Structure 1
């Protein structure tokens, strides 16, 4: 194998591994979007935390969103957390921060969204509903494509053939598109939710490091796929030229 092709495959494999690590870290963490609440608006009651943790409240999007707004909430694909300030002793004014998190099950991800969040008497907001579903499905599809592409690449190594790298590259390109789609779906969903239920004054929201990891993962997958495709096509072209030269 030409050194150029071997170098392209090695770099592509490293980029693919990094993209998988970044995407897995992004999917498994909760810092996709964070809200920062001013101390004046911060909800310090235990009741708010108990309502947030109540399983029956998962269908009430407004209650969840209000808790995120008022309790320095952070939102992920599979988990949502709030930070509640609790009084340590009844005879003192000392406060301690306690993080409360709620995990979303697979069925929770398919809950319908409404044009007025939390009001089940209004029409179903199909755009937000499918954006929410796509934002957690697409990263899983991307990881599956990369895993299948790795199997195809290993089969090519066993056969000592660069042709399977063509399929590996195509799968990585599709994975990059899926990851990019998940990022766009999440950001669009956050924008539409804040448009329907605006944060109160004094609440600031920004994208977290988990979202940034997902954003970085997508171009890494695309670059890895491009390297695999180049190595496969260039080696096939060189092989055809060498064969034609020998025949001549």
Structure 2
């Protein structure tokens, strides 16, 4: 028999865990982790066409696509890089003012590619710190989601076995998942700061955090609160069960 307080804690913890999972999943799949605001620039349609074609090339180096993002109101995500371009542009006329988003995904080899002290220059010194920060920022959210999924399996097993003990494992897994989510945000921000130190945006270009990053950041306290509720319910129920057993024996 489970006390109503513990059952309520489990329900609230489950809801918080589901919210955190949805927020983190949306954050991983969207490209609004970091965004640039560029001043309006007049550019010929032929030059703009070449710029977009160059940006769409999946083999361009970090310096090239970063420079285009600086100038074209770019946004960056864990798996995407995007720029704003005119919805219709031709070589024989000036581009229209209506803009649309053009996105290109990072390939898996690009996610594991080495970073350099001078972005885009393979002959320069390797920047191992930025390399591992970049790799961690997209691996840690996947680790977090995997831990939450594993905790869900443990919870289902606990229900089937009618045991409260595995709830401790659910709480620990959520605790680790929350730390992984926070680590991803920290790695991303640290990596962006180092990139801007080595390759500064032009004057007039402003960078700011996007809503996708805030979603990932919100998932951290939700996962921690869920972990706290699961651990409290398991620990308190265990103490209550022990006292009840001792009372019956006496």
TM tier, smaller: over 0.9
Judged with a 3 Å threshold, the aligned counterparts in structure 2 of structure 1 residues 133 and 93 are, in CA distance, closer, same or farther, namely closer
CA shift at 1:108, angstroms?
1.5
Q: Deviations over 1:143-162 (max 9, x none)?
A: 00000000000111111211
Provide the rounded CA distance (Å) in 1 between the counterparts of 2:226 and 2:218: 13
Q: Secondary structure at the match of 2:108?
A: coil
Partner secondary structure for residue 85 of structure 2: strand
1:2 aligns to 2:3 (yes or no): yes
Q: Which residue of 2 aligns with 1:83?
A: 84
Aligned counterpart in structure 1 of residue 51 of structure 2, from 29, 48, 52: 48
Rounded Cα–Cα distance in structure 1 between residues aligned with 2:68 and 2:199: 12
Contact 1:26 1:211 (C-alpha < 8 Å) held by counterparts = yes
Q: Distance in 2 between matches of 1:41 and 1:187?
A: 31
Change (3 A) 1:91 1:74: closer
Equivalent residue of 1:10, what SS?
helix
Q: Secondary structure at the match of 2:59?
A: helix
Contact 1:112 1:129 in 2 (8 A): yes
Counterpart secondary structure, 1:246: helix
Q: Is the 8 A contact 1:138 1:181 kept in 2?
A: yes
Query: Using a 3 Å threshold, how does the CA distance of structure 1 residues 82 and 93 change in structure 2: closer, same or farther?
Result: closer
Q: What secondary structure is seen at the aligned counterpart in 2 of 1:101?
A: strand
Q: Does 1:143 align with 2:145?
A: yes
Q: Give the secondary structure class of the aligned counterpart of 1:95.
A: coil
Of 93, 100, 103, the residue aligned with 2:102 is 100
CA distance in 1, matches of 2:64, 2:180: 31
Secondary structure of 1:107's match?
helix
8 Å contact kept, 1:134–1:182: yes
Structure 2 unaligned regions, length at least 5: none
Displacement of 1:84:
1.8
C-alpha distance after superposition, 1:73-107 (max 9, x if no partner)? 00000011011235469456743323221111222
Equivalent in the alignment of 1:66: 67
The 5 A counterparts of 1:75-224 are: 75-85=76-86, 87=89, 90=92, 94-224=96-226
Per-residue deviation at 1:245?
1.1
TM-score scaled to structure 1, two decimals? Answer: 0.95
Cα separation, 1, equivalents of 2:219 and 2:165: 25
Q: Which 10-residue stretch deviates more, 102-111 or 214-223?
A: 102-111
CA distance in 1, matches of 2:42, 2:224: 43
Residue aligning to 1:229: 231
